[in-house]
Amino acid sequence: MQSHSSYSHTQLLNDIQHLHPNQVRDALHALDLSCVCVRSMEGTIFFWSQGNEQLYGWSCQEVTGRTTHELLKTQFPKRLSEINAELMEHGSWKGELLHCTKSGSEVWVASYWVLQRAPHGSPISVIEINSDITESKRSEERSRYLASIIESSDDAIISKDLDGIITSWNTGAERLFGYSAHEIIGRQVLTLFPPELVDEEFIIMARIHRGERIQNYETVRVAKSGRRVDVSITVSPIVNAFGNVIGASKIVRDISQRKALESAFQESERRQALAVEAGEIGLWSYDVASGRPRFSPRCKMIWGLPPDAPTPDYEENLKAIHPNDVERVDRAFQSSIVQGAPFDIDYRLIGQSGSIRWVQSKGRPWKDAQGIVTQIYGTAIDLTQRKQTEESLRRTNSQLEQFAYATAHDLQEPLRNVALSIELAKQQIDRQISQEAEELLNCAVQNARHVQGMVRELLAYSRALQNAAHSPVTNAEEAFALALENLAIAMKEAAAYITKDQLPMVKMDQNHLLQVFQNLLGNALKYRSAEPPRIHVSATVKQNHCLLSVKDNGIGIEPQFQERVFGMFKRLRNNETAGTGVGLALCKRIIEHYGGEIWVQSDGKTGSTFFFTVPLDERSNRAASYK
């Protein structure tokens, strides 16, 4: 008999078939290391080789007489009855089985069964030869596992040989480049390179030959559609059992989205920097833990420091602030740190030469995950120029106002005298003058009276905002009622019907709101149509202000005149109705003084609606639960 290593199973079985059962046993003893078991059709073990002892851990003595499938907890690829039927039909069966050893570990075997028949044909025994394939099963499993990872990866995983021929291509690669594995395997990897980058492949391959790995190399590749894709590539050498490099594996990640985000971010940073520079905005930050501020070069410029000077610390900064402002600034800062409140403050800096600069600083606190303020970020703008312009404008306006007031005041007396003198003169020369001369004198009196009216209104206009209550709160209902009282006669004459919504508490001087109501209601009566006037005053509460409106059914104002009517002395029908054209200009002045707006809507035919906004007194409205 040949040694077991070169003696094939088939030869063995041929030999065995011609031996007497006793001889079979002897022969099988010689196959020390083979895993052989002879058993009955039902599985009762007669023979158990040493190879089996080693593989399964049970000695021959332990297993003799036991049932092989129970002992080994055999897991079959199909039902045992089917296997036995095959065995009966063909005399042999082969397949893979999973067994359990004495120690409980699992063993995969390639099993070959041969049926022994008695001369009359009935089955006597089954010779079962097993070879351990656990290792190859495991590595097969590992390969399957790795293959499934490669297939499920979002990245493209490609391998190529040393000539750059693509040898494998996963579904990630199909998705990224658009080629199917069938189309691309066998083609040059350079197919994926943009023409100007083909040299990269030679550099990569030179490194791969040296056994080096290239990690996260960012470049561009071309998809089947011609689309250029930003990618990050990791290339590793593939070595054979002798350690020789035989190819390379590549992991290619699509980074186009990240690149697009990066470039959008850079673009927005660039734009922001330009806007900050164009707006001459200084940027600063304050680190709460260290108590250290940081200034941008523009911010240092506003502070009168050279761009490379160190940022002054918090205390030094406070020292540079005007003594009247320093407490306000410090308070804003501290409450931003403690309460997380943003701030927006104007204050004065005193320069080294004693010059004063106005600064507007806005700060926004930044909180960590625990809600604690760790940084304050802010901007600073030099307001000096604007403040100077505002101040000079304010001075000019006040001078103009004083001038208008003085002129209007001083003109009143002489104008009254002119009108009176003409009337007196007319009375004295009454009978001797012609009708034409009398008409001329009448006209002179009328004009003098009109100019007198204008001067009176001008005086009211320039006085309008004087002596206003300091921080007034007015019940708009009361101001409205007073306006109605003043207009009672005109209302009665015109048979007007006036309705209104509930009116809120507003932060305005009562007299100011009264003047606005009186002018708007008075106009609604004056500029009425043939119908009796129907007027409605409505109020809509917004966040911190109220939108009021006065709607009439009068003659209307054509759209092209709707801005003009708010101008000083601007009238649309000069002689038809009495008036000087100051009323709406006065309303505009008052409303704008309180930070509001006034405008009119009309189709020019069916009445007008004047809208205006006024500041709400939120506290008293809440108390009165005004809606």
Positions that interact with ligand ADP (CB under 6 A): 519, 523-524, 527, 552, 554-557, 565, 570-573, 579-585, 608
Which residues share a beta bridge with 284? 295, 378
573-603: b or e for each residue (b if 16 or more CB lie within 10 Å)? eeeeeebbbbbbbbbbbbbeebebebebebe
CA 558/CA 562 separation, integer angstroms: 7
Kindly state the tokens that stand for 48. Answer: 């158990």
**CB 588, min distance to ligand ADP, A:** 9
| CB closer to ligand ADP out of 374 and 601 | 601
Tokens 């700060």 found at? 363
Cα dist from 516 to 375, 582, 589, whole Å: 48, 12, 10
Kindly state the tokens that stand for 387. Answer: 């403040």
**CB 514, min distance to ligand ADP, A:** 15
| Residue 530 backbone zone (phi > 0: left; psi -120 to 50: alpha; other: beta) | alpha
| CB closer to ligand ADP out of 4 and 534 | 534
CB 453 within 8 A of CB 580: yes
| CB closer to ligand ADP out of 311 and 523 | 523
CA 546/CA 548 separation, integer angstroms: 6
| CB closer to ligand ADP out of 109 and 585 | 585
**CB 581, min distance to ligand ADP, A:** 4
3-state SS assignment for residue 598: strand
**CB 567, min distance to ligand ADP, A:** 8
CA 131/CA 113 separation, integer angstroms: 12
**CB 450, min distance to ligand ADP, A:** 11
Cα dist from 89 to 14, 92, 396, whole Å: 18, 8, 121
| CB closer to ligand ADP out of 217 and 599 | 599
**CB 445, min distance to ligand ADP, A:** 20
**CB 462, min distance to ligand ADP, A:** 15
**CB 604, min distance to ligand ADP, A:** 9
**CB 504, min distance to ligand ADP, A:** 23
**CB 554, min distance to ligand ADP, A:** 4
The HSE-up count of residue 353 (CA atoms within 13 Å, CB side) is 4
CA 32/CA 36 separation, integer angstroms: 9
CB 460 within 8 A of CB 408: no
| CB closer to ligand ADP out of 97 and 584 | 584
* Pairing verdict, β 245-254 and 228-239: antiparallel
| CB closer to ligand ADP out of 38 and 535 | 535
CB 344 within 8 A of CB 248: no
CA 72/CA 81 separation, integer angstroms: 17
| CB closer to ligand ADP out of 282 and 554 | 554
| CB closer to ligand ADP out of 233 and 585 | 585
**CB 600, min distance to ligand ADP, A:** 8
| CB closer to ligand ADP out of 184 and 537 | 537
- Give every CB contact of residue 125 below 8 A, 6+ residues apart in sequence: 38, 39, 40, 41, 46, 116
**CB 593, min distance to ligand ADP, A:** 17
DSSP 192: G
Q: Phi and psi (nearest 5°) for 479?
A: -60, -40
CB 374 within 8 A of CB 367: yes
| CB closer to ligand ADP out of 591 and 616 | 591
| CB closer to ligand ADP out of 378 and 583 | 583
CA 236/CA 249 separation, integer angstroms: 5
H or E element that contains 408:
helix 384-428
| CB closer to ligand ADP out of 311 and 519 | 519
| CB closer to ligand ADP out of 18 and 573 | 573
| CB closer to ligand ADP out of 381 and 521 | 521
CA 580/CA 556 separation, integer angstroms: 18
| Residue 341 backbone zone (phi > 0: left; psi -120 to 50: alpha; other: beta) | beta
Tokens 């593989």 found at? 55
Q: What is the DSSP string of 452-510?
A: HHHHHHHHHHHHTTTT--SS--EEHHHHHHHHHHHTHHHHHHHT-EEEE----EESS-H
Q: Which of 105, 111, 58 is nearest to 80 (CA)?
A: 111
3-state SS assignment for residue 88: helix
Kindly state the tokens that stand for 425. Answer: 């003169």
Helix and strand element counts for the chain (H, E): 21, 22
**CB 497, min distance to ligand ADP, A:** 15
**CB 580, min distance to ligand ADP, A:** 5
| CB closer to ligand ADP out of 349 and 513 | 513
**CB 446, min distance to ligand ADP, A:** 16
**CB 603, min distance to ligand ADP, A:** 12
Kindly state the tokens that stand for 82. Answer: 């089917």
